[in-house]
């Protein structure tokens, strides 16, 4: 497939998707769009497949007070990418799994991609639109519930517990910050993991 087909697909996608995302409050930069409703950051990013014959759409949700995946705090919100986001997912027409849209299909593929965003992508972001919910709705005893797992489809349990500990730390909920911090330490045990982050939270709430 020629590179021109990829360029044609991306040009048409930008023309059709950007107005929809703009209406939803996203600001675009090439094939990436960011929405910042402090403290919640939403990211949508089109990723080309390695063979340059198709693309997927990465979805990300982050919180401004959290470090990114490398442990750094990003000052420029527009510089965020989906890989910087703590909560990640993929846009699909079935709200689960993985999906790639073929450039060769052009209009039908773009139609399906946009329909997928309207049917499922908006819902993905809506789950986290009313901070501090849904984080404060998750108790230490509900970590293995299916509803909780569906909120964080590609996140390990340790990362999920760290996220919850950090949210409660930010909110000043000392008892729950400590409880999730200790759960995280216990989950890691003698293995590798973000022990330092959990210990920092525990120390900051020890009187």
pTM of the model: 0.92
pLDDT score at 88: 93
Q: List the structure tokens of 175.
A: 């008892």
| Lookup: tokens for 97 | 């799994």
Query: What per-residue confidence (pLDDT) applies to 97?
Result: 74
In whole angstroms, what is the distance from residue 100 CA to residue 128 CA? 25
Segment 96-145, tens digit of pLDDT: 678 999 999 999 999 999 999 999 999 999 999 999 999 999 999 999 99
Please check the confidence at residue 37 and state whether its pLDDT lies above 70.
yes
CA dist 170 → 80, 118, 165, 176, 187 (Å): 21, 32, 9, 11, 22
Axis-axis angle for helices 107-116, 3-23 (nearest 10): 30
Per-residue pLDDT band at 2 (split at 50, 70, 90) = low
Q: Picking from 59-63, 70-74, 125-129, 138-142, which range would have the lowest pLDDT averaged per residue?
A: 70-74
The reported pLDDT for the residue numbered 121 is 95
Domain spans, the chain: 3-126, 135-204
Whole-number pLDDT of residue 191: 67
Predicted local confidence at residue 194, as pLDDT? 87
**What DSSP letter does each residue of 74-95 carry, written as one string?**
PS-GGG--GGG-SEEEE--TTS
- Mean pLDDT lowest for which of 56-60, 89-93, 189-193? 189-193
**Does residue 59 sit in helix, strand or coil?**
strand
Per-residue pLDDT at 1: 52
Residues 37-42 have a mean pLDDT of 96
């Amino acid at each position: 497939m020629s590179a021109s087909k990829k360029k044609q697909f991306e040009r048409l996608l930008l023309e059709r998707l950007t107005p929809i995302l703009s209406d939803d409050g996203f600001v675009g930069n090439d094939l990436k769009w960011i929405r910042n409703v402090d403290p919640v950051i939403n990211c949508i990013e089109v990723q080309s497949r390695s063979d340059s014959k198709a693309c997927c759409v990465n979805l990300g949700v982050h919180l401004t007070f959290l470090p990114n995946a490398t442990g750094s705090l990003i000052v420029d919100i527009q510089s965020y990418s989906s890989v910087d986001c703590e909560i990640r997912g993929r846009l699909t027409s079935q709200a689960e799994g993985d999906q790639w849209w073929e450039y060769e299909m052009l209009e039908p593929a773009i139609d399906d991609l946009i329909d997928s965003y309207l049917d499922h992508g908006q819902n993905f972001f809506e789950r986290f639109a009313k901070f501090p919910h849904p984080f404060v709705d998750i108790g230490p005893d509900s970590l293995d519930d299916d509803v909780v797992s569906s909120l964080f489809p590609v996140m390990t349990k340790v990362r999920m517990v760290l996220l919850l500990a950090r949210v409660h730390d930010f909110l000043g909920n000392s008892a729950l910050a400590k409880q999730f911090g200790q759960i995280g330490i216990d989950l890691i045990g003698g293995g590798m993991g973000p022990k330092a982050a959990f210990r920092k939270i525990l120390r900051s709430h020890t009187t």
